[in-house]
Structure 1
Amino acid sequence: MLVYVGCDHAGLDLKLKVMAALPDIQWKDVGTHSADSVDYPDYADQVSREIVKVDLENKKNNIVDSQKGPALGLLICGSGQGMAIRANKYSNIRAALCWNDDIARLSREHNNANILCLSARFSSPDDAVKMIKTFLSTSFAGGRHQQRVDKLATDTGC
């Protein structure tokens, strides 16, 4: 499975550590690649655009669970919240800000999240690796959760 990963300057160290700790994952690193200050929305945009392409292809092929498709995403910034806010502006993106293993599992199982957002300031590398492994290995439960996930994509007209 391909995992698109992006971070801002605050998330760089954690990104590098989790990528090194998980060498079996096929990472597509969209940046940032230095500690110079950058704007997190730029990296959330890059990852989100790639996941949207994958999601649209999955829908064409009747694949509901994004884990069965070729890609998921990982975004890391200082709090994780900015990345999640920006990513969720994209249609078909369900970015989940996770702070422990249970939330990572539930975000996939119940919400079919396709991007995991982590806080570099509040997640240790060991906890981040555990959340990533859980996120990537958990399947969407479907069933009663599908109609709820479908409602997430409904335009509210606001």
Structure 2
Amino acid sequence: MKIFIGNDHTAVEMKTAIVEYLESQGHEVINLGTNDLNPVDYPDLGFAVGEAVGKDVTSLGIVICGSGIGISIAANKVPGIRAALCYEKEAVELARQHNNANILALGARFIAVYKAVELVKVFLQTQFEEDRHSERVRKLCDYNG
């Protein structure tokens, strides 16, 4: 699977561990984030991953900043994106099962690196349940303000 990943300077270590895991599992990883500690603007990275996933609807995305909040807000500005900020396994499962989340957002300041990798595993293994959730997801996608 193709996975786009974007991170700011607070999340280089976490992104590196996640990329290593994903590549070890045979996923194609496209790194849209920074690789050093020089400050960058998380909105630009959230937009970039959101746009990439929006154009390739068979792909998924991962975005990481200090809290995960700002970068998830940025990604969700892109039409068709359902970025879910998750800190726990159960939230990741529900984001995929009920919301068909196509981007996982993580907070590097609040999640240990090993736990972030575990959350990514859950994100990739969990499927959308469709049925009663399909209409709700359609509403999320169709809303234009």
Give TM-score, length-normalised by structure 2.
Answer: 0.94
Give TM-score, length-normalised by structure 1.
Answer: 0.86
Cα offset, 1:26, TM superposition: 1.9
Cα offset, 1:18, TM superposition: 1.9
Cα offset, 1:143, TM superposition: 0.3
- Superposed counterparts of 1:101-120, under 5 Å: 101-120=89-108
Separation of aligned partners in 2, 1:155 and 1:148? 11
With 25-34 and 38-47 compared, the bigger mean Cα shift is at 25-34
Give the unaligned 5+ runs of structure 1.
56-68
Match in the other structure for 2:70:
82
1:115-147 Cα shifts (integer Å, max 9, x gaps): 000000011111111110010111100000001
Match in the other structure for 1:21:
21
1:34-86 Cα shifts (integer Å, max 9, x gaps): 1100000111111111111112xxxxxxxxxxxxx2x1000000000001111
Confirm or deny that 1:133 pairs with 2:133. no
The equivalent position to 1:52 in structure 2, one of 51, 54, 59, is 54
Cα offset, 1:156, TM superposition: 5.3
Give the unaligned 5+ runs of structure 2.
none
How many positions carry a matched residue from both structures?
Answer: 143
SS in 2 for 1:19: helix
Q: 2:6 touches 2:46 (CA, 8 Å); kept in 1? A: yes
Taking a change above 3 Å as real, the CA distance of residues 35 and 141 of structure 1, as seen in their structure-2 partners, is same
Match in the other structure for 1:30:
32
Structure 1 segments of 4 or more deviating over 6 A?
none
Match in the other structure for 1:65:
none
SS in 1 for 2:61: strand
Cα offset, 1:9, TM superposition: 0.3
Taking a change above 3 Å as real, the CA distance of residues 146 and 82 of structure 1, as seen in their structure-2 partners, is same
Separation of aligned partners in 2, 1:145 and 1:97? 19
Question: What RMSD over aligned residues (CA atoms) do the two structures have, in Å?
Answer: 1.1
